[in-house]
Structure 1
């Protein structure tokens, strides 16, 4: 990998590396035992209203709902005649979600015991959490759209609450381990971060700016 590529993608690759190491560690019996103890503390809070909320978050951020939200996001921005913003915003969600799915296939971690689950989730696709990754990717896209506006702090604050609620809901429903939800934040941020950095680097080249300067503006992103 060239130095320029490392400048652009170094941080996303580092986040992915951390997630992979975490996934390998999470497959050990000792780590899984610690995860199960934390999950038990969350499951102990189960009640009617919390169960309804957890089920709503489960259904609202399911794969079909995710595909629908990406399509609606792109369509809305295209109708607003913002094609470049539509491409970047939808790519943020798609990349964060897809990278998470790739790591999920590599780690192949079993789900928590079915006896703990409130919804049927079987198989070896526990690490990382797809629901949390989708939620995090959507929040990043929303923050990108709200940049340079007065709404930005409120969007970020609401996004943090939503991601934390989704993470806790996955533990509450008994379908993921704590390590799964933590790692999904790393993987989705890595995927979305790569899109932002590549977009900023491309904009820097088109404007005739040095590559490093273009990359440094990845946080704010290109103008609409």
Structure 2
């Protein structure tokens, strides 16, 4: 423990420290405020603006044209790959949860469960509240009967990506992790649109929703780690 009340994990990089109850510095407060503004409030406003438009039946000009452009390159092989990638998200998120539990990182496991599971529940609620019909532009390889906005798979992928960046934020390889997370979300989103299951605006709404939820949750967990008398939140450090 140093003079600032931080506990540094053995072998962890200098940036990794868990606050054990000391008051946050002015710099930390400013950084948290900026994070709330850029990653919670602003995306939330954009999401609700998009949801209101879509709730009134609006389809943007680029929605149909972008799907048709993707479909022009369709092949049976790409169909199978797109379906496989879509189905792998839940498996991956479950394996991460099992790993965290095996490591006995209970607070981190709870964060992961709430981040990924909570975003999926929010997605389901919003689907039924907005009730946007799926695109109907060609005969689908894998027809779906549920609503379109926001995309469940993309919401889950974005939640997984943001949660991974949060948990590995102290890593020396955080830039590479961030790029990989963005590529992962982009791949899933393209697969869902390629399959004709979602408009581009569905994808945008999903990313905004997941970003708002996971970052907001991480801020709450950080605050709990500073103020709780119990064990503070443990983030992965590698």
| Correspondent of 1:58 among 63, 86, 92 | 86
| Correspondent of 2:197 among 175, 178, 181 | 175
Equivalent in the alignment of 1:205: 227
1:194 lines up with 2:222 in the alignment: no
Separation in structure 1 between the aligned mates of residue 156 and residue 210 of structure 2, nearest angstrom: 8
Separation in structure 2 between the aligned mates of residue 44 and residue 69 of structure 1, nearest angstrom: 30
Separation in structure 1 between the aligned mates of residue 54 and residue 125 of structure 2, nearest angstrom: 17
Q: Would the alpha carbon gap of residues 29 and 199 (structure 1) be closer, same or farther in structure 2, given more than 3 Å must change?
A: closer
Runs of 4+ in 1 over 6 A off after TM superposition: 7-10
1:166 lines up with 2:220 in the alignment: no
Equivalent in the alignment of 2:154: 132
TM-score normalised according to structure 1 size? 0.77
Task: Return the structure number with greater helix share.
Answer: 1
Q: Say whether the 8 Å CA contact 1:92–1:192 is kept in structure 2.
A: yes
Q: Say whether the 8 Å CA contact 1:89–1:144 is kept in structure 2.
A: no
Equivalent in the alignment of 2:21: none
TM-score normalised according to structure 2 size? 0.73
1:43 lines up with 2:71 in the alignment: yes
Q: Say whether the 8 Å CA contact 2:167–2:235 is kept in structure 1.
A: no
- What's the offset of the Cα at 1:189? 1.0
- What's the offset of the Cα at 1:177? 0.7
- What's the offset of the Cα at 1:70? 4.3
1:98 lines up with 2:111 in the alignment: no
Partner secondary structure for residue 31 of structure 1 = coil
Separation in structure 1 between the aligned mates of residue 94 and residue 216 of structure 2, nearest angstrom: 21
Which stretches in structure 1 are left out of the alignment for 5+ residues?
Answer: 1-6, 208-220
Q: Say whether the 8 Å CA contact 1:199–1:222 is kept in structure 2.
A: no
- What's the offset of the Cα at 1:82? 1.6
Separation in structure 2 between the aligned mates of residue 179 and residue 150 of structure 1, nearest angstrom: 34
- What's the offset of the Cα at 1:96? 2.5
Equivalent in the alignment of 1:218: none
| Correspondent of 1:148 among 151, 157, 170 | 170
Q: Would the alpha carbon gap of residues 179 and 111 (structure 1) be closer, same or farther in structure 2, given more than 3 Å must change?
A: same
1:72 lines up with 2:95 in the alignment: yes
Aligned residues between the structures: 199
1:184 lines up with 2:206 in the alignment: yes
Q: Say whether the 8 Å CA contact 2:105–2:234 is kept in structure 1.
A: no
Moved more, 44-53 or 125-134: 44-53
Structure of greater Rg: 2
Instruction: Give the root-mean-square deviation of aligned CA atoms.
Output: 2.6
Separation in structure 1 between the aligned mates of residue 64 and residue 72 of structure 2, nearest angstrom: 12
